[in-house]
Structure 1
């Protein structure tokens, strides 16, 4: 039996604490939600870690018994900056955590979903690949936080909708390389439907949260 979405998010929120970057929290929750709809229950193993907690992990396999689990001392991990998460898949109805490695197709699902939100994957690292690890950016080495696109307005945009912000309509028109009229007319509807078909979305001409993400990336 697959755990419910509410349960998955409740468990994730225990790890996604206030020290985390709010965009990383939102992205992680969004990916958990999307993959749960596909029958893949994802959990969060690690999120924010203090420098002291990082040093304790670094000691494993060195001054403490066990296999080496990290090559980063305290302050040298992006977990210490609240911009990284390690994830797993729930097995046995949520009773067991299963950490995936290539060529598991479920890992490919997770990686694809995370990368749609601009998350970097530890599996792409040439040395010591970290398959459960995802980070928004490399804060340790001074990489700037990426721009995540305009904020979704909170309600769908479509022809005939009331009180639409013309600035948002112009953003959509600009993305689709159309004249910036600020009008959600039949022509814009047709181009949105074409865009939706190209991305295998329901071609209804409505710009809801899923279409918005495909247009602009992460919905803030």
Structure 2
């Protein structure tokens, strides 16, 4: 009698894509809670989990995106007032991944000493955190890349920290201009050494791109613990 072939059959690209989306859905449906806030580099939490940082200009929608990814309305505090987030906020997602909400950059109306402190905190964290697996650089789809975004990306290039551009507020842009914006940003980041080539186009309001971003970030998480 011929022994059964232990090799599982290959999945089609469509099946692979569906499996990635399902893995992302399952991870981001897990318990996610705030566990640490750091206002100084010497007070960061233990580096126990792979971390995904969310960086971007003030009021670009970082906190709204974290809430949309996790399916919660109030996990990360949102505000219409730029510069409200003033520390690194760490969230534990299912014991497999840490999401880090960074202070927004580029808010010129804040006191200068605050701006210097936030900038040093964000840049120091992004350059020196060993467990940082990826930085998501959030860019408003209505406005595109600004010089302050390019400064952050240049710093990440120099530090060899992989980052990925995520366009936010896509629901506020018509399809034609939105696609043109995506192509423009893609062309610019293609010349950068640490930029991940895939851009995600998202909307926290409509849910556009949220499932796909979950799937991509899930690939950076700790593996599922084996059953006892």
Q: Same fold (TM over 0.5)?
A: no
Normalising by the residue count of structure 2, what TM-score does the alignment of the two structures yield?
0.22
Structure label with greater radius of gyration: 1
